[in-house]
Amino acid sequence: MTDDLTTLPDLASRPHGGSVMAASDEFFADKENLIKAEPPVFRPHTFTPKGQEYDGWETRRRFGRTGGNDWVLLRLGAPGVVRAVDVDTSYFLGNYPEQVRIEATGVEGYPGVGELDAAEWFELLAPSKLTGGGHNVFTVTDPRRVTHLRLHILPDGGVARLRVHGEVVPDPRDLAGLPFDLAATVNGGRVTSCSDSFFSPPANMLQPGESRFMADGWETARRRDSGHDWAVVALACAAVPSVAEIATTHYRGNPPDRVALYGLDEAGAWFPLLPQTRVQADTTHRFRIPATRAVTHVRLENHPDGGIGRFRLYGEPTPAAREALTRRWFDALPEPQARDVLAAAGPDGLLP
């Protein structure tokens, strides 16, 4: 893969469950556009009663309004540690903000807008200059796990998309006492390498929900040799897998002929989990996995090529892995949230 931080999951994206909760203003273009999965588009000479239509969030000019700046409040669909933000001003040329600033917080539960006003916020990105008509990528070094962001634009203007790239840190309390999808992005799974991603990247397979259309899965180019395609997925934690789900949804003329699955154990050895098995077009397949030892990564093989819409891998984490998940999560909490967690946990500890 690459060291490019923008290849990390987008913690705020709509497919991952992100939402835009409130904004100071959205006169020209809706705040919800900020977290749409697809790239922004522009259709010239498409005027509404409020002016040229833009695919993004755009506020009115601040003439005659109170001082300060415009802002938007987001809830991350996949809370985690932010490593980079991409403030995309595509197609905003004479109306983009001069600067951007981002605050973050970590809170328990599902607070409303008013409750979040009382939260303890900290600066994730200091005021930074923007350029119009393109990607503005900023590296973030704060190690804390966050659940909500507040994007400030200084003083006003338009932003097409906000991408919040980072490492998912799942709440272990949500995963306690049950098998879960070890490969899902929202649980901490991620693709680390692949043979090919010509039509669409393998990370798409790990998104929540059913694949929406062909490009919402992983599709490789047509192979003209004797090889096959593959993708390696780092799991949320070490676990013994029990069920694999491989969906070829929307791939009607271009699914793989066969699939296979290998696991990487904690000693660093690969071993087979599922032998080469034929699959059908536009179908969700479920396979029992007769594994007896824990794996940290899996390699999904696509023989010889084609498209896979979704990949799920359910299993039971090892006791040591559950403990490591809990430790990593708690150590990354902002201090106010950590205090709330300890106060609610009582004498029995952090997990039920």
In the predicted model, residues of the chain with pLDDT beneath 70 are: 1-3, 64-66, 346-352
Is residue 206 a contact partner of residue 189, using CB atoms and an 8 Å limit?
A: yes
Q: In this predicted model, what pLDDT tens digit does every residue of 51-77 receive, in sequence order?
A: 888 999 999 998 766 678 999 999 999
Q: For the chain, where are the alpha helices, taking DSSP H only?
A: 113-117, 319-332, 335-345
Dmax (CA) for the chain in angstroms is 68
| 3-state percent helix, strand, coil for the chain, nearest multiple of 5 | 15, 40, 45
What is the rounded average pLDDT for all residues in the chain? 94
pLDDT of residue 53: 87
Question: What pTM value is reported for the model?
Answer: 0.91
Q: In this predicted model, what pLDDT tens digit does every residue of 117-138 receive, in sequence order?
A: 999 999 999 999 999 999 999 9
339: left (phi over 0), alpha (psi -120 to 50) or beta: alpha
Is residue 40 a contact partner of residue 160, using CB atoms and an 8 Å limit?
A: yes
User: Locate tokens 């047509």: which residue?
Assistant: 222
CA distance 268 to 264: 6
Domains and CATH numbers, the chain: 5-168 (2.60.120.260), 180-317 (2.60.120.260)
CA angle 321, 81, 102 (to 5 degrees): 165
| Alpha-carbon torsion (78, 82, 83, 84), positive or negative | positive
Q: In this predicted model, what pLDDT tens digit does every residue of 206-261 receive, in sequence order?
A: 999 999 999 999 999 999 999 999 999 999 999 999 999 999 999 999 999 999 99
CA distance 68 to 153: 10
Q: Which of 127, 134, 56 is nearest to 89 (CA)?
A: 134
